[in-house]
């Protein structure tokens, strides 16, 4: 007998399997395998395009924001350093409940395709977007590094949205307190105070600046840390009332040694401690560069180190490394792990 209607076929097969005691849930799609340093796919099987990213946890879901890198990569002429870049594709948003199956939500912040004077024009640099929720204005606030092709603009841009996935409305960019701002991250503390952390003074010194209560502006309260130490790619977390920052050195797109620093308060006395990475290639952060440290919801004191494995001559083909941070007494380490898994 030839069954023409697939639905009838499916029904009969299901009944037969049930008769033989086969658990039908076996037929559900397995989670994507996130192999560190290889292409990661979204729930539609397309490569995840969310570089230099950060994650917001909101109402049971993780929202991953990152740079959209598409098209060709070229080297900007006239720069002494290896200034490779692609057109700015804006910021995308993916969501997941389990940190493995990532659904593409939307382009959260769109590039401007027509006005070459806009901060968001595709010819500019849009990097390292991070999002936090502001309780006071009940909006989601995104900050990102906004720059010109030669990275001389050095500003931090801010955008807002009523929903986590966007679309975000761009407000403006700042040089906080007239200081340069390049690689950046955000940190929101338990007391709802939030901080913008950014490489300044031509990347020589890291700045930590408290944001206004609505998170939409930098305040005049800020601190210079790691003075003349040339750190970038900052990522901050808090553990048992101490603050930790992992950052990289400044070697363009090439991987270098990560360092962990610690302080008793965000605007306190930050001390550079040691390289937290352990294993082969730990001297170059396993070939990657920090972007964010994700506190796991429901799992107190467990964090994931998120990093980008840049492919400087083909930037859209850059990959991700996510590694659980191992905390034992006073030691904080990031051992290599082939696949991203959490216990
Ligand atoms: C390293 C930074 O961390 C990246 O975000 C990007 O700005 C590159 N430098 C540019 O070379």
DSSP secondary structure letters along 148-190: -TTS-S-EEEEEEESSTT-PPEEEEEE-GGG----SEEEEE-T
152 C-alpha to ligand 1 centroid (Å): 13
253 C-alpha to ligand 1 centroid (Å): 6
- CA pair distance 115, 100, nearest whole angstrom: 37
105 C-alpha to ligand 1 centroid (Å): 26
Q: Which one of 143, 253, 289 would you pick to mutate in the ligand 1 pocket, going by the greatest count of ligand atoms within 8 A of its CB? A: 253
Q: Which one of 232, 247, 284 would you pick to mutate in the ligand 1 pocket, going by the greatest count of ligand atoms within 8 A of its CB? A: 232
Q: Which ligand 1 atom minimizes the distance to the CA of 82?
A: 11
Helices (H), the chain: 6-19
53 C-alpha to ligand 1 centroid (Å): 12
pLDDT of 20: 46
pLDDT of 254: 97
Beta-strand relationship, 169-174 and 155-161: antiparallel
- CA pair distance 179, 316, nearest whole angstrom: 30
pLDDT in tens, the chain (343 residues): 444 455 555 555 445 444 444 444 445 577 778 999 999 999 999 999 999 999 999 999 999 999 999 999 999 998 888 999 999 999 999 999 999 999 999 999 999 999 999 999 999 999 999 999 999 999 999 999 999 999 999 999 999 999 999 999 999 999 999 999 999 999 999 999 999 999 999 999 999 999 999 999 999 999 999 999 999 999 999 999 999 999 999 999 999 999 999 999 999 999 999 999 999 999 999 999 999 999 998 788 899 999 999 999 999 999 999 999 999 988 999 999 999 997 7
252 C-alpha to ligand 1 centroid (Å): 5
Q: At a CB cut-off of 8 Å and minimum separation 6, what does 140 contact?
A: 56, 58, 131, 132, 133, 134, 160, 161, 162, 163, 164, 166, 168
216 C-alpha to ligand 1 centroid (Å): 24
Sign of the alpha-carbon dihedral angle for 219, 140, 320, 333: positive
- CA pair distance 299, 269, nearest whole angstrom: 28
SS3 18: helix
Ligand 1 site residues (CB inside 6 A) read: 52, 127-128, 183, 232-233, 252-253, 289
- Set out the domains of the chain in order of their start, with CATH numbers: 32-335 (2.115.10.20)
Q: Where are the beta strands (DSSP E) in 214-325?
A: 218-225, 231-239, 242-249, 259-263, 271-274, 277-278, 289-295, 303-309, 319-324
């Amino acid at each position: 007998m030839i069954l023409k209607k697939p639905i009838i076929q499916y029904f009969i097969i299901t009944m037969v399997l049930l008769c033989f005691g086969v658990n039908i849930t076996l037929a559900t799609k397995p989670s994507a395998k996130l192999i560190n340093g290889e292409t990661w796919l979204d729930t539609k099987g397309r490569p995840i395009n969310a570089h230099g990213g950060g994650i917001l946890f909101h109402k049971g879901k993780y929202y991953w924001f990152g740079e959209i890198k598409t098209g060709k990569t070229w080297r900007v002429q006239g720069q002494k350093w290896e200034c490779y870049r692609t057109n700015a594709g804006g910021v995308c948003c993916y969501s997941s409940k389990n940190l493995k199956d990532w659904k593409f939500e939307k382009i959260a912040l769109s590039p401007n395709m027509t006005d070459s004077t806009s901060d968001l024009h595709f010819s500019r640099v849009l990097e390292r977007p991070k999002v936090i929720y502001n309780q006071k204005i009940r909006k989601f606030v995104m900050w990102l590094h906004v720059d010109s092709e030669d990275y001389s603009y050095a500003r931090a841009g801010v955008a807002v949205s009523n929903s986590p996935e966007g679309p975000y409305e761009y407000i403006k960019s700042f040089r906080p307190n007239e200081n340069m701002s390049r690689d950046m991250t955000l940190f929101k503390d338990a007391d709802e105070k939030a901080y913008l952390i950014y490489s300044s003074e031509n990347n020589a010194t890291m700045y930590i600046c408290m944001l206004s209560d609505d998170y939409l502006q930098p305040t005049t309260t800020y601190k210079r840390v790691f003075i003349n130490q040339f750190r970038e790619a900052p990522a901050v977390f808090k553990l048992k009332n101490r603050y930790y920052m992992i950052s990289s050195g400044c070697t363009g797109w090439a991987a270098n040694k990560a360092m962990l620093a610690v302080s008793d308060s965000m605007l306190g006395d930050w001390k550079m401690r040691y390289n937290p990475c352990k294993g082969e290639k730990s001297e170059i952060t396993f070939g990657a560069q920090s972007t964010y440290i994700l506190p796991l919801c429901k799992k107190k004191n467990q964090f994931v180190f998120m990093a980008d494995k840049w492919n400087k001559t083909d930037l859209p083909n850059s990959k991700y490394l996510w590694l659980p941070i191992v905390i034992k007494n006073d030691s904080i380490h990031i051992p290599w792990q082939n696949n991203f898994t959490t216990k």
